[in-house]
Amino acid sequence: MSDKKLWAGRFAEPTDAFVEAFTASVEFDQRLAPYDVQGSIAHATMLAKQGILSDAERDAIIAGLERIMAQIEAGQFDWSIALEDVHMNIEAALTEDIGIAGKKLHTGRSRNDQVATDVRLWLRDELATIGDAIRRLQHALLDLAERETDTILPGFTHLQTAQPITFGHHMMAWFEMLDRDHERMADCARRLNVMPLGAAALAGTTYPIDRQLTAELLGFERPAENSLDAVSDRDFAIEFAAAASILMMHLSRMSEELIIWSSAQFHFITLSDSFCTGSSIMPQKKNPDVPELIRGKSGRVFGHLMALLTLMKSQPLAYNKDNQEDKEPLFDAVDNVKGSLKVFADMMPAVTCNADAMRDAASKGFATATDLADYLVRKGVPFRDAHEVVGKSVAYCVDKRCDLADLSLEQLQGFSDVIDSDVFDCLTLEGSVAARDHIGGTAPAQVKAAIARARKKLA
């Protein structure tokens, strides 16, 4: 395959060797090859229908592109840095294979609209894959929530014991976060499903093309309305990076809890050995490396969002070479999101809950204090007065180094004479969680109902 640049006619001197390597993108954009071929086949089909190519030229182009794609898939294609990018490499190989017809493929288009189309086609498929990966993780969380519906866990605010909840309820909180992430990815896919092809370099083309036909062939909802906007903006990539950052933030929060819970100090859960590593010097260590790495990768994806925003912030219309820098952060963000989702979905089914340790922790820190306040309110005590009564009883327990449930009826009545023997029903952990029996509450019956609704939604 010749390394002669397809745009070299204007130039009297060859490109500097370092500049050639510095400006080339083929080492990373070759992953767009299937979409470049897909877009070129649709473009050739449209050109033939419009009489711009003959049917024979169209057939030769399509057959040649299919042969090239087979070489690429087999790892037998010779990529050339001198030809800069995936587009020029494929076009040069096509021309070498089928001759002059290959030179006609680029009629009515530019690399500007070509690359914008390729990236959208690629990201559209990746978003579908990411959506499926989110769903897979959600199914894993539902299974775990169902298994641990009745398992008592201390609920925290400010990382201080607040109220007892159930582990199943906690998993359903993670499920809801991911459900919004799935919606964001679907919304991003809807907005990017607009075709730039036909915008050419920036102003459209003088050839009688049929952009609606090309859009239909490529599965786009419609052609882009404005040629300048079509080739120059990368807001669809920024939008994905923003959605990906939110998703990774959620995975990082989940990872943080898994790391804390699996520590010897908490011992709420045990992670499978398959997702942990040891220490090179401390033989007793079992490090939660997978959630730690996902927590770290969140910063990497956040950085890609900032890189893309910065890339676009000062660009005048229309296309600029700056936009070559959109691919590496976009590609890396996609790869790390997919990898993080996969390993998380693999890890969660193997999580073992240490119910006794969770229950013991929930029994400390006065987790049922709010329940005692609610009890007093139901007995006619104004909430602010009830709050003060419970505050004083908690201070008493701190001094005596005991929990509210350890106090006798006589001791409790010393703080309020409306307290009766039925108070102990609300001071138990089971009574506390069962009392929150409404949609969104932690009562096991409500968690089971939430799981059922979620399974129906994902079906």
> Are residue 422 and residue 397 in the same domain, yes or no?
yes
> Are residue 139 and residue 288 in the same domain, yes or no?
yes
CATH of the domain at 82: 1.10.275.10
Which CB contacts under 8 angstroms, 24+ apart, belong to 41-48? 41/65, 42/197, 42/214, 42/217, 42/218, 43/105, 43/108, 43/109, 43/197, 43/214, 44/105, 45/213, 45/214, 45/217, 46/209, 46/210, 46/213, 46/214, 46/217, 47/104, 47/107, 47/108, 47/207, 47/209
> Are residue 41 and residue 139 in the same domain, yes or no?
no
Domain membership flag for residue 208: no
CATH of the domain at 310: 1.20.200.10
Q: What is the mean pLDDT of residues 40-53?
A: 98
Domain ranges, residue 373? 364-458
Q: Which of 55, 76, 107 is the last residue of a domain?
A: 107
Residue pair 300/285 in contact (Cβ under 8 Å)? The answer is no
Q: What is the pLDDT of residues 127-177, one digit of tens each?
A: 999 999 999 999 999 999 999 999 999 999 999 999 999 999 999 999 999
Q: Which of 107, 141, 158 is the last residue of a domain?
A: 107
> Are residue 336 and residue 246 in the same domain, yes or no?
yes
pLDDT at 442 over 60: yes
Q: What is the mean pLDDT of residues 244-252?
A: 98
Q: H or E stretch including 269?
A: strand 269-270
pLDDT of res. 25: 86
pLDDT at 254 over 50: yes
> Are residue 337 and residue 255 in the same domain, yes or no?
yes
Which residue in the list 158, 274, 280, 314 is annotated as catalytic? 158
Domain membership flag for residue 211: no
> Are residue 57 and residue 186 in the same domain, yes or no?
no
> Are residue 255 and residue 375 in the same domain, yes or no?
no
Helices (H) and strands (E) in the chain, counts: 20, 6
Domain membership flag for residue 2: no
Q: What is the mean pLDDT of residues 234-251?
A: 98
Other beta carbons within 10 angstroms of residue 351's beta carbon come to: 21
pLDDT of res. 257: 98
Q: What is the mean pLDDT of residues 411-437?
A: 92
- 374, with CB counted inside 10 A (0-12, 13-18, 19+), is middle
> Are residue 372 and residue 389 in the same domain, yes or no?
yes
Minimal CA–CA distance to 65: which of 85, 99, 40? 40
What is the phi/psi pair of residue 159, to 5°? 60, 25
pLDDT at 2 over 70: no
Please say if 438 is a catalytic residue. Answer: no
Q: What is the mean pLDDT of residues 242-262?
A: 98
pLDDT of res. 15: 61
The overall average pLDDT reported for the chain is: 94
Please say if 158 is a catalytic residue. Answer: yes
Q: Could you tell me which residues come within 8 angstroms of residue 438 by beta carbon, excluding any fewer than 6 positions away?
A: 446
- 458, with CB counted inside 10 A (0-12, 13-18, 19+), is middle
> Are residue 103 and residue 22 in the same domain, yes or no?
yes
pLDDT at 17 over 90: no
Q: What is the mean pLDDT of residues 254-274?
A: 96
> Are residue 241 and residue 142 in the same domain, yes or no?
yes
> Are residue 254 and residue 376 in the same domain, yes or no?
no
- Distance between CA atoms of residues 107 and 47, nearest Å: 8
Q: Which of 309, 338, 355 is the last residue of a domain?
A: 355
Query: Is the model more confident about 220 or about 425?
Result: 220
> Are residue 135 and residue 236 in the same domain, yes or no?
yes
Domain membership flag for residue 214: no
Domain membership flag for residue 306: yes
pLDDT of res. 7: 46
pTM here is: 0.92
pLDDT at 392 over 80: yes
Percent of the chain with pLDDT over 90: 87
Q: What is the pLDDT of residues 74-132, one digit of tens each?
A: 999 999 999 999 999 999 999 999 999 999 999 999 999 999 999 999 999 999 999 99
pLDDT of res. 21: 72
pLDDT at 326 over 90: yes
Domain membership flag for residue 320: yes
Q: What is the mean pLDDT of residues 320-334?
A: 95
Domain membership flag for residue 215: no
Q: Which of 186-195, 326-335, 367-376 has the lowest mean pLDDT?
A: 367-376
pLDDT of res. 5: 58
Domain membership flag for residue 94: yes
CATH of the domain at 447: 1.10.40.30
Q: What is the pLDDT of residues 166-213, one digit of tens each?
A: 999 999 999 999 999 999 999 999 999 999 999 999 999 999 999 999
Q: Could you tell me which residues come within 8 angstroms of residue 333 by beta carbon, excluding any fewer than 6 positions away?
A: 240, 241, 244, 301, 304, 305
Query: Is the model more confident about 222 or about 12?
Result: 222
Which residue in the list 2, 54, 263, 279 is annotated as catalytic? 279
Task: Give the number of domains in the chain.
Answer: 3
